[in-house]
Protein backbone atom coordinates (compact mmCIF):
# COMPACT_ATOMS: atom_id res chain seq x y z
CA UNK A 1 0.00 0.00 0.00
CA UNK A 2 1.35 3.41 -0.95
CA UNK A 3 2.04 5.89 1.81
CA UNK A 4 -0.11 9.00 2.03
CA UNK A 5 1.85 12.25 1.99
CA UNK A 6 1.31 14.18 5.22
CA UNK A 7 -1.41 11.72 6.11
CA UNK A 8 -3.74 12.82 8.94
CA UNK A 9 -3.07 10.39 11.78
CA UNK A 10 -5.68 9.94 14.50
CA UNK A 11 -4.88 10.85 18.09
CA UNK A 12 -7.40 8.38 19.48
CA UNK A 13 -9.07 5.36 17.87
CA UNK A 14 -12.19 3.55 19.05
CA UNK A 15 -12.02 -0.16 18.19
CA UNK A 16 -15.27 -2.08 18.50
CA UNK A 17 -15.21 -5.83 19.04
CA UNK A 18 -18.61 -6.84 20.36
CA UNK A 19 -18.59 -10.59 20.52
CA UNK A 20 -15.09 -11.38 21.70
CA UNK A 21 -12.57 -9.61 23.86
CA UNK A 22 -8.95 -9.16 22.80
CA UNK A 23 -8.06 -10.29 26.32
CA UNK A 24 -9.70 -13.71 25.82
CA UNK A 25 -7.54 -16.75 25.16
CA UNK A 26 -7.65 -17.59 21.41
CA UNK A 27 -8.81 -21.13 20.75
CA UNK A 28 -11.72 -21.15 23.20
CA UNK A 29 -15.32 -20.04 22.83
CA UNK A 30 -15.55 -17.49 20.04
CA UNK A 31 -12.00 -16.25 20.56
CA UNK A 32 -9.67 -16.72 17.63
CA UNK A 33 -7.70 -14.87 15.01
CA UNK A 34 -9.80 -11.73 15.33
CA UNK A 35 -8.79 -11.41 18.98
CA UNK A 36 -5.16 -11.62 17.99
CA UNK A 37 -5.64 -9.09 15.19
CA UNK A 38 -7.33 -6.50 17.42
CA UNK A 39 -4.88 -6.93 20.28
CA UNK A 40 -1.71 -6.89 18.21
CA UNK A 41 -2.65 -3.93 16.02
CA UNK A 42 -3.84 -1.94 19.05
CA UNK A 43 -0.47 -2.41 20.74
CA UNK A 44 1.43 -1.38 17.63
CA UNK A 45 -0.62 1.78 17.19
CA UNK A 46 -0.19 2.66 20.86
CA UNK A 47 3.56 2.30 20.39
CA UNK A 48 3.28 5.06 17.77
CA UNK A 49 1.66 7.38 20.32
CA UNK A 50 -1.93 6.77 19.19
CA UNK A 51 -4.37 6.12 22.03
CA UNK A 52 -6.61 3.11 21.46
CA UNK A 53 -9.82 2.24 23.27
CA UNK A 54 -11.38 -1.16 22.65
CA UNK A 55 -15.09 -1.66 23.33
CA UNK A 56 -16.11 -5.27 23.96
CA UNK A 57 -18.96 -7.04 25.73
CA UNK A 58 -18.38 -7.95 29.38
CA UNK A 59 -18.66 -11.71 29.90
CA UNK A 60 -18.05 -11.88 33.64
CA UNK A 61 -19.24 -9.90 36.65
CA UNK A 62 -15.59 -9.66 37.65
CA UNK A 63 -14.67 -7.74 34.48
CA UNK A 64 -13.58 -4.24 35.44
CA UNK A 65 -15.41 -1.55 33.43
CA UNK A 66 -12.09 -0.22 32.13
CA UNK A 67 -8.77 -2.06 31.94
CA UNK A 68 -5.49 -0.50 30.84
CA UNK A 69 -3.74 -3.46 29.27
CA UNK A 70 -0.57 -1.69 28.14
CA UNK A 71 0.22 2.03 28.06
CA UNK A 72 -2.03 3.63 25.48
CA UNK A 73 -4.55 0.76 25.18
CA UNK A 74 -7.78 0.71 27.21
CA UNK A 75 -10.32 -2.11 27.09
CA UNK A 76 -13.85 -1.01 27.96
CA UNK A 77 -16.03 -3.95 29.08
CA UNK A 78 -19.58 -2.95 28.22
CA UNK A 79 -22.42 -4.67 30.08
CA UNK A 80 -24.96 -5.89 27.51
CA UNK A 81 -27.09 -8.88 28.43
CA UNK A 82 -26.19 -11.74 30.77
CA UNK A 83 -22.50 -12.26 31.38
CA UNK A 84 -22.53 -15.94 30.43
CA UNK A 85 -24.56 -18.30 28.29
CA UNK A 86 -25.03 -16.07 25.25
CA UNK A 87 -24.02 -17.62 21.95
CA UNK A 88 -22.69 -15.35 19.20
CA UNK A 89 -25.97 -15.91 17.33
CA UNK A 90 -27.87 -14.42 20.29
CA UNK A 91 -25.89 -11.20 20.35
CA UNK A 92 -27.97 -9.23 17.81
CA UNK A 93 -30.58 -8.94 20.58
CA UNK A 94 -28.01 -7.10 22.71
CA UNK A 95 -26.72 -4.61 20.14
CA UNK A 96 -28.99 -1.83 21.44
CA UNK A 97 -27.70 -2.28 24.99
CA UNK A 98 -24.11 -2.47 23.78
CA UNK A 99 -24.45 0.61 21.58
CA UNK A 100 -25.93 2.53 24.51
CA UNK A 101 -22.89 1.65 26.61
CA UNK A 102 -20.52 2.80 23.88
CA UNK A 103 -22.33 6.11 23.38
CA UNK A 104 -22.51 6.76 27.11
CA UNK A 105 -18.76 6.26 27.46
CA UNK A 106 -18.11 8.83 24.74
CA UNK A 107 -20.66 11.24 26.22
CA UNK A 108 -18.48 11.68 29.32
CA UNK A 109 -15.57 12.87 27.18
CA UNK A 110 -14.88 16.22 25.47
CA UNK A 111 -16.36 16.75 22.03
CA UNK A 112 -14.24 15.22 19.28
CA UNK A 113 -12.67 12.69 21.65
CA UNK A 114 -12.30 9.96 19.01
CA UNK A 115 -10.93 10.57 15.52
CA UNK A 116 -11.99 7.31 13.86
CA UNK A 117 -14.05 4.21 14.63
CA UNK A 118 -12.81 0.80 13.50
CA UNK A 119 -15.33 -2.04 13.82
CA UNK A 120 -14.45 -5.73 13.67
CA UNK A 121 -17.06 -8.26 12.45
CA UNK A 122 -20.58 -7.37 11.35
CA UNK A 123 -22.04 -7.08 14.86
CA UNK A 124 -19.48 -4.42 15.68
CA UNK A 125 -20.15 -2.74 12.35
CA UNK A 126 -23.77 -2.18 13.32
CA UNK A 127 -22.63 -0.37 16.47
CA UNK A 128 -19.82 1.44 14.67
CA UNK A 129 -22.26 2.76 12.08
CA UNK A 130 -24.36 4.37 14.85
CA UNK A 131 -21.27 5.73 16.64
CA UNK A 132 -19.95 7.19 13.39
CA UNK A 133 -23.14 9.17 12.82
CA UNK A 134 -23.40 10.25 16.47
CA UNK A 135 -19.77 11.30 16.86
CA UNK A 136 -19.20 12.75 13.42
CA UNK A 137 -16.09 10.66 12.67
CA UNK A 138 -15.37 8.13 9.90
CA UNK A 139 -16.08 4.40 10.18
CA UNK A 140 -13.51 1.83 9.05
CA UNK A 141 -14.81 -1.73 9.03
CA UNK A 142 -13.16 -5.15 8.86
CA UNK A 143 -15.58 -8.03 8.30
CA UNK A 144 -13.01 -10.80 9.00
CA UNK A 145 -15.47 -13.30 7.49
CA UNK A 146 -18.53 -12.99 5.25
CA UNK A 147 -21.66 -15.09 5.70
CA UNK A 148 -22.14 -15.64 1.98
CA UNK A 149 -18.58 -16.94 1.61
CA UNK A 150 -18.87 -19.25 4.62
CA UNK A 151 -22.16 -20.61 3.32
CA UNK A 152 -20.50 -21.67 0.07
CA UNK A 153 -18.53 -24.35 1.95
CA UNK A 154 -20.47 -25.39 5.04
CA UNK A 155 -18.85 -28.30 6.85
CA UNK A 156 -20.86 -31.43 7.62
CA UNK A 157 -22.61 -30.91 10.94
CA UNK A 158 -22.24 -27.14 10.81
CA UNK A 159 -25.06 -24.60 10.49
CA UNK A 160 -25.25 -22.08 7.66
CA UNK A 161 -24.98 -18.42 8.58
CA UNK A 162 -28.45 -16.83 8.91
CA UNK A 163 -30.01 -14.32 6.53
CA UNK A 164 -30.02 -11.83 9.41
CA UNK A 165 -26.24 -11.72 9.29
CA UNK A 166 -26.12 -11.34 5.51
CA UNK A 167 -28.51 -8.38 5.67
CA UNK A 168 -26.50 -6.83 8.50
CA UNK A 169 -23.27 -7.23 6.56
CA UNK A 170 -24.77 -5.54 3.52
CA UNK A 171 -25.85 -2.58 5.64
CA UNK A 172 -22.39 -2.14 7.13
CA UNK A 173 -20.69 -2.42 3.73
CA UNK A 174 -22.98 0.30 2.39
CA UNK A 175 -22.32 2.62 5.34
CA UNK A 176 -18.61 2.22 6.11
CA UNK A 177 -16.25 4.95 4.92
CA UNK A 178 -13.43 2.44 4.36
CA UNK A 179 -13.49 -1.35 4.19
CA UNK A 180 -10.39 -3.29 5.23
CA UNK A 181 -9.78 -6.81 3.90
CA UNK A 182 -6.96 -9.30 4.27
CA UNK A 183 -6.43 -10.28 0.63
CA UNK A 184 -7.33 -9.34 -2.92
CA UNK A 185 -9.69 -12.33 -2.98
CA UNK A 186 -11.65 -10.80 -0.11
CA UNK A 187 -11.76 -7.47 -1.91
CA UNK A 188 -13.20 -9.19 -4.98
CA UNK A 189 -15.80 -10.92 -2.79
CA UNK A 190 -16.92 -7.64 -1.25
CA UNK A 191 -17.37 -6.17 -4.71
CA UNK A 192 -19.08 -9.18 -6.29
CA UNK A 193 -21.29 -10.18 -3.36
CA UNK A 194 -21.99 -6.90 -1.58
CA UNK A 195 -21.40 -4.44 -4.44
CA UNK A 196 -18.83 -2.48 -2.44
CA UNK A 197 -17.09 0.47 -4.08
CA UNK A 198 -13.66 -0.91 -4.91
CA UNK A 199 -12.06 2.47 -4.29
CA UNK A 200 -13.21 2.27 -0.65
CA UNK A 201 -11.54 -1.11 -0.08
CA UNK A 202 -8.05 -1.33 1.43
CA UNK A 203 -6.04 -4.57 1.44
CA UNK A 204 -4.20 -4.89 4.75
CA UNK A 205 -2.42 -8.20 5.29
CA UNK A 206 -2.41 -9.57 8.87
CA UNK A 207 0.81 -10.59 10.52
CA UNK A 208 2.48 -12.56 13.26
CA UNK A 209 4.38 -11.58 16.37
CA UNK A 210 7.78 -12.31 14.88
CA UNK A 211 9.51 -11.58 18.20
CA UNK A 212 7.60 -14.46 19.78
CA UNK A 213 7.19 -16.89 16.91
CA UNK A 214 10.64 -17.91 15.73
CA UNK A 215 12.49 -21.20 15.13
CA UNK A 216 13.91 -22.98 18.13
CA UNK A 217 14.33 -26.36 19.83
CA UNK A 218 11.20 -28.29 20.80
CA UNK A 219 12.73 -31.29 22.51
CA UNK A 220 11.86 -30.20 26.05
CA UNK A 221 8.18 -29.80 25.17
CA UNK A 222 8.18 -33.19 23.46
CA UNK A 223 9.53 -34.78 26.62
CA UNK A 224 6.90 -33.02 28.71
CA UNK A 225 4.17 -34.37 26.43
CA UNK A 226 5.58 -37.89 26.43
CA UNK A 227 6.68 -37.67 22.81
CA UNK A 228 9.90 -39.28 21.58
CA UNK A 229 12.54 -37.36 19.69
CA UNK A 230 11.93 -39.52 16.60
CA UNK A 231 8.14 -39.22 16.65
CA UNK A 232 6.65 -37.40 13.66
CA UNK A 233 4.24 -34.86 15.14
CA UNK A 234 1.38 -33.31 13.17
CA UNK A 235 -0.37 -30.48 15.02
CA UNK A 236 -3.70 -28.70 14.77
CA UNK A 237 -4.19 -25.36 16.56
CA UNK A 238 -7.55 -23.61 16.75
CA UNK A 239 -11.13 -23.75 17.92
CA UNK A 240 -12.68 -27.21 17.86
CA UNK A 241 -15.57 -26.63 15.47
CA UNK A 242 -16.68 -28.05 12.10
CA UNK A 243 -15.49 -24.92 10.26
CA UNK A 244 -11.88 -25.54 11.33
CA UNK A 245 -12.15 -29.24 10.33
CA UNK A 246 -9.92 -30.94 12.92
CA UNK A 247 -11.87 -34.12 12.10
CA UNK A 248 -10.34 -34.03 8.61
CA UNK A 249 -6.88 -34.22 10.16
CA UNK A 250 -7.83 -37.16 12.39
CA UNK A 251 -9.37 -39.10 9.52
CA UNK A 252 -6.39 -38.38 7.26
CA UNK A 253 -3.91 -39.34 9.95
CA UNK A 254 -5.59 -42.64 10.86
CA UNK A 255 -4.04 -44.76 8.04
CA UNK A 256 -0.67 -43.06 8.55
CA UNK A 257 -0.70 -43.94 12.26
CA UNK A 258 -1.72 -47.51 11.42
CA UNK A 259 1.25 -47.80 9.06
CA UNK A 260 3.74 -46.00 11.28
CA UNK A 261 3.37 -45.95 15.09
CA UNK A 262 5.81 -43.01 15.27
CA UNK A 263 3.18 -40.69 13.79
CA UNK A 264 1.50 -38.61 16.51
CA UNK A 265 -1.17 -35.91 16.43
CA UNK A 266 -1.54 -32.90 18.72
CA UNK A 267 -4.88 -31.08 18.94
CA UNK A 268 -4.48 -27.71 20.65
CA UNK A 269 -7.71 -25.80 21.28
CA UNK A 270 -11.13 -25.80 22.88
CA UNK A 271 -14.70 -26.09 21.63
CA UNK A 272 -16.58 -23.08 20.33
CA UNK A 273 -19.46 -21.57 22.25
CA UNK A 274 -19.91 -21.24 25.98
CA UNK A 275 -20.07 -23.81 28.74
CA UNK A 276 -17.79 -26.35 27.02
CA UNK A 277 -14.26 -27.14 28.06
CA UNK A 278 -13.48 -30.52 26.42
CA UNK A 279 -13.74 -31.49 22.75
CA UNK A 280 -15.69 -34.65 23.58
CA UNK A 281 -16.93 -35.32 20.05
CA UNK A 282 -13.42 -35.14 18.61
CA UNK A 283 -12.09 -37.39 21.36
CA UNK A 284 -14.82 -39.89 20.53
CA UNK A 285 -13.86 -39.74 16.85
CA UNK A 286 -10.22 -40.51 17.69
CA UNK A 287 -11.37 -43.54 19.69
CA UNK A 288 -13.71 -44.64 16.88
CA UNK A 289 -10.81 -44.44 14.40
CA UNK A 290 -8.63 -46.46 16.76
CA UNK A 291 -5.99 -43.74 17.05
CA UNK A 292 -6.76 -42.26 20.48
CA UNK A 293 -3.47 -43.68 21.76
CA UNK A 294 -1.61 -41.49 19.25
CA UNK A 295 -3.62 -38.29 19.71
CA UNK A 296 -2.96 -35.79 22.49
CA UNK A 297 -5.51 -33.09 23.29
CA UNK A 298 -4.20 -29.88 24.82
CA UNK A 299 -6.07 -26.77 25.99
CA UNK A 300 -5.40 -23.45 24.24
CA UNK A 301 -2.02 -21.94 25.05
CA UNK A 302 -0.79 -18.33 25.28
CA UNK A 303 1.79 -17.29 22.67
CA UNK A 304 4.82 -17.89 24.90
CA UNK A 305 3.77 -21.53 25.28
CA UNK A 306 2.22 -21.99 21.86
CA UNK A 307 5.48 -21.21 20.08
CA UNK A 308 7.05 -24.19 21.85
CA UNK A 309 4.19 -26.41 20.68
CA UNK A 310 4.90 -25.30 17.12
CA UNK A 311 8.63 -25.93 17.57
CA UNK A 312 7.89 -29.43 18.87
CA UNK A 313 5.90 -30.19 15.69
CA UNK A 314 7.08 -31.55 12.37
CA UNK A 315 4.02 -30.31 10.51
CA UNK A 316 1.06 -28.04 11.28
CA UNK A 317 -2.25 -28.79 9.57
CA UNK A 318 -4.83 -26.08 8.80
CA UNK A 319 -7.72 -27.98 7.15
CA UNK A 320 -10.36 -25.23 7.56
CA UNK A 321 -13.35 -24.97 5.24
CA UNK A 322 -13.05 -21.18 5.28
CA UNK A 323 -10.28 -18.82 6.37
CA UNK A 324 -10.08 -15.12 5.61
CA UNK A 325 -6.33 -15.40 6.15
CA UNK A 326 -5.06 -18.05 8.57
CA UNK A 327 -2.94 -16.67 11.40
CA UNK A 328 -2.05 -20.15 12.68
CA UNK A 329 -0.40 -20.89 9.33
CA UNK A 330 1.78 -17.78 9.57
CA UNK A 331 2.67 -18.34 13.23
CA UNK A 332 3.70 -21.93 12.57
CA UNK A 333 5.84 -20.95 9.59
CA UNK A 334 7.47 -18.16 11.60
CA UNK A 335 8.44 -20.88 14.10
CA UNK A 336 10.11 -22.79 11.24
CA UNK A 337 7.41 -25.43 10.72
CA UNK A 338 5.94 -26.30 7.31
CA UNK A 339 2.16 -26.12 6.95
CA UNK A 340 -0.30 -28.34 5.14
CA UNK A 341 -3.39 -26.20 4.57
CA UNK A 342 -6.66 -26.25 2.69
CA UNK A 343 -6.53 -24.14 -0.44
CA UNK A 344 -9.27 -21.77 0.72
CA UNK A 345 -9.50 -18.04 1.35
CA UNK A 346 -6.34 -16.31 2.45
CA UNK A 347 -4.38 -19.51 3.06
CA UNK A 348 -3.18 -19.26 -0.51
CA UNK A 349 -1.40 -16.05 0.51
CA UNK A 350 -0.28 -17.24 3.94
CA UNK A 351 1.35 -20.43 2.58
CA UNK A 352 3.83 -20.52 -0.30
CA UNK A 353 2.62 -23.74 -1.93
CA UNK A 354 5.41 -26.22 -2.57
CA UNK A 355 7.99 -24.11 -0.76
CA UNK A 356 6.88 -23.31 2.80
CA UNK A 357 4.15 -25.95 2.83
CA UNK A 358 1.44 -27.57 0.77
CA UNK A 359 -2.03 -26.43 -0.24
CA UNK A 360 -4.59 -29.20 -0.53
CA UNK A 361 -7.58 -28.64 -2.84
CA UNK A 362 -10.81 -29.53 -1.07
CA UNK A 363 -11.25 -31.86 1.89
CA UNK A 364 -11.04 -35.29 0.35
CA UNK A 365 -9.51 -37.48 3.06
CA UNK A 366 -7.37 -39.39 0.58
CA UNK A 367 -5.80 -36.19 -0.69
CA UNK A 368 -5.04 -35.08 2.85
CA UNK A 369 -3.53 -38.44 3.74
CA UNK A 370 -1.34 -38.28 0.64
CA UNK A 371 -0.16 -34.72 1.32
CA UNK A 372 0.70 -35.32 4.97
CA UNK A 373 2.07 -38.80 4.31
CA UNK A 374 4.33 -37.55 1.54
CA UNK A 375 6.01 -35.07 3.88
CA UNK A 376 6.23 -37.58 6.72
CA UNK A 377 8.12 -39.91 4.38
CA UNK A 378 10.56 -37.19 3.27
CA UNK A 379 12.35 -35.63 6.28
CA UNK A 380 14.81 -33.77 4.04
CA UNK A 381 11.96 -32.02 2.23
CA UNK A 382 10.31 -31.22 5.56
CA UNK A 383 13.50 -29.63 6.81
CA UNK A 384 13.92 -27.56 3.64
CA UNK A 385 10.30 -26.43 3.86
CA UNK A 386 10.80 -25.49 7.50
CA UNK A 387 13.67 -23.18 6.58
CA UNK A 388 11.68 -21.68 3.73
CA UNK A 389 8.66 -21.28 6.01
CA UNK A 390 10.61 -19.18 8.49
CA UNK A 391 11.84 -16.96 5.67
CA UNK A 392 8.39 -16.70 4.08
CA UNK A 393 6.79 -15.60 7.36
CA UNK A 394 9.12 -12.61 7.69
CA UNK A 395 6.97 -10.64 5.24
CA UNK A 396 4.02 -10.82 7.66
CA UNK A 397 4.46 -8.56 10.69
CA UNK A 398 1.97 -6.77 12.92
CA UNK A 399 4.08 -3.63 12.60
CA UNK A 400 3.37 -3.56 8.88
CA UNK A 401 -0.29 -4.35 9.46
CA UNK A 402 -0.63 -1.41 11.85
CA UNK A 403 1.18 0.87 9.42
CA UNK A 404 -1.21 -0.09 6.62
CA UNK A 405 -4.22 0.37 8.90
CA UNK A 406 -3.06 3.91 9.64
CA UNK A 407 -3.02 4.56 5.90
CA UNK A 408 -6.61 3.37 5.72
CA UNK A 409 -7.54 5.60 8.67
CA UNK A 410 -5.90 8.56 6.94
CA UNK A 411 -7.93 7.97 3.80
CA UNK A 412 -11.10 7.70 5.89
CA UNK A 413 -10.36 10.94 7.75
CA UNK A 414 -9.50 12.81 4.56
CA UNK A 415 -12.60 11.56 2.79
CA UNK A 416 -14.84 12.28 5.75
CA UNK A 417 -13.59 15.86 6.12
CA UNK A 418 -14.56 16.48 2.53
CA UNK A 419 -18.16 15.36 3.06
CA UNK A 420 -19.08 16.74 6.48
CA UNK A 421 -21.88 19.31 6.54
CA UNK A 422 -20.35 22.07 8.75
CA UNK A 423 -23.81 23.04 9.99
CA UNK A 424 -24.52 19.53 11.24
CA UNK A 425 -21.14 18.07 12.09
CA UNK A 426 -21.94 18.11 15.81
CA UNK A 427 -24.76 15.62 15.32
CA UNK A 428 -22.65 13.47 13.06
CA UNK A 429 -24.93 13.96 10.07
CA UNK A 430 -23.24 14.15 6.73
CA UNK A 431 -23.96 15.14 3.17
CA UNK A 432 -21.95 12.24 1.78
CA UNK A 433 -23.29 10.63 -1.34
CA UNK A 434 -26.10 8.24 -0.59
CA UNK A 435 -25.09 4.64 -0.97
CA UNK A 436 -28.45 3.25 -1.94
CA UNK A 437 -27.96 -0.08 -3.58
CA UNK A 438 -30.23 -3.02 -3.85
CA UNK A 439 -31.85 -3.76 -0.48
CA UNK A 440 -32.06 -7.49 -0.95
CA UNK A 441 -29.19 -9.83 -0.08
CA UNK A 442 -28.52 -13.04 -1.93
CA UNK A 443 -29.40 -15.92 0.33
Which residues does the annotation place in the binding site for 1D-myo-inositol 3-phosphate?
A: 19, 30-35, 88, 121, 145, 165
pLDDT digits 0-9 by tens, 396-433: 999 999 999 999 999 999 998 756 554 444 443 343 43
Whole-number Cα distances in Å, 390 to 315, 335, 343, 355: 13, 6, 20, 11
- Per residue in 117-176, pLDDT (tens digit) is 999 999 999 999 999 999 999 999 999 989 999 898 888 778 899 999 999 999 999 999
Is-contact 161 149, C-beta < 8 A? no
Q: Residues at the annotated binding site?
A: 19, 25-26, 30-35, 88, 121, 145, 165, 239, 244, 301, 310-311, 313, 323, 331
Express each pLDDT in 239-270 by its tens digit: 898 999 999 999 999 999 999 999 999 999 98
Which pLDDT score, from 0 to 100, does residue 89 have? 83
Could you list the residues known to form a binding site for UDP-N-acetyl-alpha-D-glucosamine, using ranges. Answer: 25-26, 33, 239, 244, 301, 323, 331
Q: Write the CATH number of the domain with boundaries 219-393.
A: 3.40.50.2000
What local confidence, expressed as pLDDT, does residue 282 receive? 94
pTM, 2 dp: 0.88
What was the pLDDT predicted at 230?
96
The predicted-structure confidence for 269-278, as pLDDT tens digits, reads as follows 987 654 345 6
Pair 275, 83: CB distance under 8 Å: no
For all residues of the chain together, what is the average pLDDT? 89
pLDDT score, position 20 = 83
At residue 271, the pLDDT reads: 78
**Who's near 388: CB < 8 A, 6+ residues apart?**
338, 352, 355, 356
| 12-207+398-427 and 219-393 have identical folds | yes
Between helix 122-135 and helix 163-175 the angle, nearest 10°, is 40
pLDDT at position 201 over 70? yes
Pick from 263, 259, 341: which is nearest to 296 by CA?
263
Residue 277: the pLDDT is 53
Please say if the pLDDT value at position 225 is more than 90: yes
State whether the Cα torsion 358-361-362-365 is positive or negative.
negative
Q: Could you give the CA distance from residue 406 to residue 443 in angstroms, rounded to a whole number?
A: 34
Alpha helices by DSSP H, 302-378: 303-311, 327-334, 347-350, 365-376
Average the pLDDT over 22-47 and give the result.
82
- 22, 56 contact by CB (below 8 A): yes
pLDDT tops 80 at residue 28: no
Give the residue numbers of the binding site for Mg(2+): 310-311, 313
- The CATH homologous superfamily to which domain 12-207+398-427 belongs is Glycogen Phosphorylase B; (3.40.50.2000)
Sketch the domain layout of the chain as residue ranges: 12-207+398-427, 219-393
Please compute the mean of the pLDDT values over residues 383-401 and round it to a whole number.
97
Instruction: Using alpha carbons, list the distances in angstroms from residue 93 to 82, 86, 87, 123, 148.
Output: 11, 10, 11, 10, 21
Residue 355 has φ and ψ, to the nearest 5°, of -115, -55
Amino acid sequence: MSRAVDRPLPSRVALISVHTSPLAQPGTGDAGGMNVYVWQTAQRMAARGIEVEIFTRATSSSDAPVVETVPGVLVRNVVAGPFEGLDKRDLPTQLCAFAAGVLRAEATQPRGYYDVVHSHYWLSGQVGWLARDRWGVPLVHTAHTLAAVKNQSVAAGDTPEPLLRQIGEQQVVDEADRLVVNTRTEADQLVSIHHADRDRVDIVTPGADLDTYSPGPGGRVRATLGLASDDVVVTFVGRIQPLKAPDVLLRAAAPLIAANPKVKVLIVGGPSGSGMDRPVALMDLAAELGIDHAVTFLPPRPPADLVNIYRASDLVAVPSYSESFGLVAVEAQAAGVPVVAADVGGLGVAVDDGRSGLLVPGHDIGNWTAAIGGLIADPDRRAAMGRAAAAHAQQFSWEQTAEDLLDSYAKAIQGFRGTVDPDRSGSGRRTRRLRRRRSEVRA
